[in-house]
Structure 1
Amino acid sequence: MRFLRPRHTLDQLPALAIRPESVTTLHSAADYKAEMLHRIRSAKNRIYLCCLYLQHDEAGAEILAALHEAKLARPQLDVVVMVDWHRAQRGLIGEKKIPGQLSGNAAWYQQQAALHHSGVAIYGVPVQTRELFGVLHLKGYVFDDLVFYSGASLNNVYLHQFAKYRHDRYLLIENRALADSMTDFMREHLLASSAVHRLDQPELPATRHIRGEIRAFRARLKKAHYTFSASQEKSAGTLNVTPLVGVGKNNALNRVICQLIAHAKHRIVICTPYFNFPLAITREINRALKRGVQVDIVVGDKVANDFYIPPEQGFKAIGALPYLYEMNLRRFLKSHQKAIRQQQLQVHLWKDEDNTYHLKGMWIDDEYALMTGNNLNPRAFRLDLENALLMHDPEHLLLAQRTEELNSIMRHTRALQAYTDLDQLQDYPAEVRKLLGRLSTVRLDRLAYRVL
């Protein structure tokens, strides 16, 4: 077995050789849902689902019902779902909690388990003692020998259940070694921990009673990595895939992200839903611009942010976040105006009616592609448990697929010509202006950028 060591460079990364015909890219949330249901219904040996949450709504109910039906139809099927421990035990933002009563998705999981008696196991993974300071942001689904990777979770908007959708990325790789590696990581480093408990069973321990286990769990996660038998030689007609994982400062995934930008010679394309780069990424982007590299950044318009609340729906503090990100983007554009005028730097703003944008990842020189749930922000770099699939394709075997995916993303974007193309503080609703002014006065805006 080989794994990522602290001083590995990109060309030294252990990797699995993948045939290009085993890779499929989907382009829509509706296809994401259809493929999920198809894979659940056709799985024969194992289903391992790992995401931030499986929501108690119509789409979530359809997914969970399909899991129970699959397990009842094929009792030998190993069905495991992993979601964030904290997120599963609270309601939606703004929803009131009833004292003494289990709320959120966990209560629903237990009700469905008692109803079906199928043996589907749903686990809560506590990456930190409080949700604010770290969540399970590990992504990836395994169906037999297929890895289905997306930054999306499972609810109505991610699955395009009704009129609105949240756009993400969706990659399928048919490869047993990769599927085994991701499943082994979940079993060895998540399910085996005493901090991880089933949410579909009654009498859950209170978080305060397992704080010691959670802290020890997080410490172990900082040393965890994917293991696999790496391909010793690159053979013609294949590409390399390396699964990566990281939590906390200066982890292996963070280092590879920065190495990718530093490696670029011709073009970098970056997708992020929340414009709030860590300083390490900003520095590498600036260095790339000095080297003459073309940089394209695709970010969601503030109204395409999943925290956006239309002014007519009333004000909530969380609704100020999209404006905070826009202010950050405006400052970035202002400081890079020369590169924008020369069209060396292009920032593309995504907006499709009232749908939302959740894309993450990078493309480097038509040679490397990073598929990840990492938001490329300080929170992802310091707090959450993140992972990614790095694809190295020097023969450009998947160039047509990558081009098609990028074209589908760019279809709903417009290129910003100057920082003045964006609204500024005085253009925002009065409640937003007031809150952002207070945050700036006491410098809490910097704290917000680090944890949200």
Structure 2
Amino acid sequence: MKGQIKAAKKRVVLASLYLGTGPLEQELVDCIETALERSLQACDPSSLSVSILLDFTRGSRGQKNSRTMLLPILRRFPEQVRVSLFHTPNLRGLLRLLIPERFNETIGLQHIKVYLFDDNVILSGANLSESYFTNRQDRYVFLQDSPEIADFFTELVDAVGDVSLQLQQDNSVKVVDGMVHPYQGDKVAYCEAANKRVMKVIDSARTRQEFLHSQNFHCSHAEAPLSKEPKAVGDGQPEPDTWIYPLIQMKPFGIHIDETVTETLLMEAEQGASVYLTTGYFNLTQAYMDLILGTRAKYQILLASPEVNGFFGAKGVAGAIPAAYVHIEQQFFSEVCFLGQQERIRLQEYSRSGWTFHAKGLWLHLAGSSLPCLTLIGSPNFGYRSVHRDLEAQVAIVTKNKSLQQQFHQEQLYLRSGTVSALTFEQPNRYVQLWVKMVTPLIKNFF
């Protein structure tokens, strides 16, 4: 990321849940400042723009936080830097006043993770925090020289930024002129305005790509084709062997593209096909679970063992969250066994000493193929939060390119895992207290 920032000439766009406050995060901010200084010395000082989108509640936590980390560059380069802080419209009124810090993040978040430098894009589920740079397992894909994808995500981040609070040089926030306030204004009006802004970006991209497909493929359903193989067709344009489909999920705004596509993939996976699915927080929606249990494809589901759960060892109530995930996992495993589906649906737990696990995604192997032709990568965890509460984005990468298929196949996540069996839940570290079992159904939609 630092190398990409240093090389950027026109834009740096960072969308994340939050920016950490440690030395590695400070290095990243210093790198942005150096790039802006270099731009200032150039003939056109406004040539490099920096747009940063974070979540308001998570980015405002504590005295030293994401906001205070970014204030120096905002103050030095106010014309080139924009810091937007998304505040969910569902946290308002008495709810906003009564729910304490940290717990208020359960209501809804800006959860998109996109890191963009000119026409190069990193898509991930990882945040801008030291642990992700050191010992927190996640996934990343680097799309190099992809102007269509870069433009789309720049416009998407700008659209969400327009309906977010803007960080000011005195560390206060304000709304964009003419915009409805996310928690002081009318909720319905705000969500309608946000839907309009975001859908304008999505519809514009869809129109552009349908035009390209009508020219090259006589097909009208792809979002953003990405060419990799120099096989000419038609007017001399290379025939793509890889396609990128951006999938956006913003249920508070009535946008549910990712949910629709994910359900379709799970529903239409045929007998003989294999689906590899992973999530750092195993808490699938009921719809996703029903589709997995009711379809004919084989599933290998990778999740975090309690020791690599990000909440393991946390203080207070948060320390019980890994046990709640164990309870949810055991309930799902019991249902798999009750239906006699143990051979078709296998659970595996990631384990790695000194590491935590945050990876999420999906790989689809068609019947008879040892290599995946499709992967999903981005911010969603496939749980209730991802579908209903948070702002999410990922991409479906569909490819015929054998080299790329091999790279997806060689992601090493499953090699560090053990298979879940009935004996797994008899281990002492899998004991779940009664109060956790009783509370989990009431709170599972918030974590």
What is the match of residue 445 of structure 2? 450
Matched, 1:302 2:306: yes
Q: TM-score, normalised by structure 1?
A: 0.78
Q: Secondary structure at the match of 2:185?
A: helix
**In 1: Cα distance, 2:428 partner to 2:442 partner:** 19
Root-mean-square deviation (CA, aligned residues, Å) is 2.7
**In 2: Cα distance, 1:338 partner to 1:252 partner:** 33
**In 2: Cα distance, 1:213 partner to 1:67 partner:** 37
Measured after TM superposition, the shift of residue 121 of structure 1 is 2.7
Contact 1:59/1:154 (<8 A) preserved: no
Q: Secondary structure at the match of 1:79?
A: strand
**1:96-135 alignment, distance < 5 Å:** 104-111=65-72, 113-114=74-75, 119-130=80-91, 131-135=105-109
**1:379-390 alignment, distance < 5 Å:** 379-390=385-396
**In 2: Cα distance, 1:204 partner to 1:46 partner:** 23
Which of residues 258, 262, 272 is equivalent to 1:257? 262
What is the match of residue 149 of structure 1? 123
**In 2: Cα distance, 1:38 partner to 1:450 partner:** 39
**1:17-32 alignment, distance < 5 Å:** none
> Cα 1:209–1:262, aligned 2, differ >3 Å: closer, same or farther?
closer
Matched, 1:376 2:350: no
Unmatched segments (≥5 aa) in structure 2? 41-46, 92-104, 218-232, 234-238, 366-371
Q: Secondary structure at the match of 1:185?
A: helix
Contact 1:49/1:82 (<8 A) preserved: yes
What is the match of residue 57 of structure 1? 22
Measured after TM superposition, the shift of residue 340 of structure 1 is 7.7
**In 2: Cα distance, 1:338 partner to 1:112 partner:** 57
Contact 2:120/2:143 (<8 A) preserved: yes
Work out the percentage of aligned pairs sharing the same amino acid: 21
**In 1: Cα distance, 2:65 partner to 2:56 partner:** 11
**1:297-336 alignment, distance < 5 Å:** 297-309=301-313, 315-336=315-336
What is the match of residue 291 of structure 2? 284
Which of residues 220, 244, 247 is equivalent to 1:244? 247
Contact 2:249/2:258 (<8 A) preserved: yes
> Cα 1:201–1:129, aligned 2, differ >3 Å: closer, same or farther?
farther
Q: Secondary structure at the match of 2:433?
A: helix
Which of residues 157, 165, 181 is equivalent to 1:186? 157
Q: TM-score, normalised by structure 2?
A: 0.78
What is the match of residue 166 of structure 1? 136
Matched, 1:346 2:349: no
**In 1: Cα distance, 2:149 partner to 2:299 partner:** 31
What is the match of residue 218 of structure 1? 191
Matched, 1:177 2:156: no
Contact 2:29/2:69 (<8 A) preserved: no
Structure scoring higher RCO (CA < 8 A, sep ≥ 6) equals 1
**In 2: Cα distance, 1:133 partner to 1:209 partner:** 14
Contact 1:109/1:200 (<8 A) preserved: no
Matched, 1:202 2:202: no
Task: Give the count of matched residue pairs.
Answer: 383
Contact 1:367/1:394 (<8 A) preserved: yes
Q: Secondary structure at the match of 1:295?
A: strand
**In 1: Cα distance, 2:428 partner to 2:316 partner:** 17
Measured after TM superposition, the shift of residue 217 of structure 1 is 3.8
Measured after TM superposition, the shift of residue 141 of structure 1 is 1.5
**In 2: Cα distance, 1:209 partner to 1:297 partner:** 37
Matched, 1:412 2:416: yes
**In 2: Cα distance, 1:62 partner to 1:445 partner:** 40
> Cα 1:67–1:445, aligned 2, differ >3 Å: closer, same or farther?
same
Measured after TM superposition, the shift of residue 368 of structure 1 is 2.0
Contact 1:190/1:196 (<8 A) preserved: no
Deviation track 1:337-367 (CA, whole Å, cap 9, x = no partner) reads 2778853222110011021001111111222
Contact 2:303/2:348 (<8 A) preserved: yes
Q: Secondary structure at the match of 2:110?
A: coil
**In 2: Cα distance, 1:427 partner to 1:369 partner:** 31
What is the match of residue 78 of structure 1? 49
**In 2: Cα distance, 1:434 partner to 1:316 partner:** 17
**In 2: Cα distance, 1:280 partner to 1:200 partner:** 45
> Cα 1:148–1:340, aligned 2, differ >3 Å: closer, same or farther?
farther
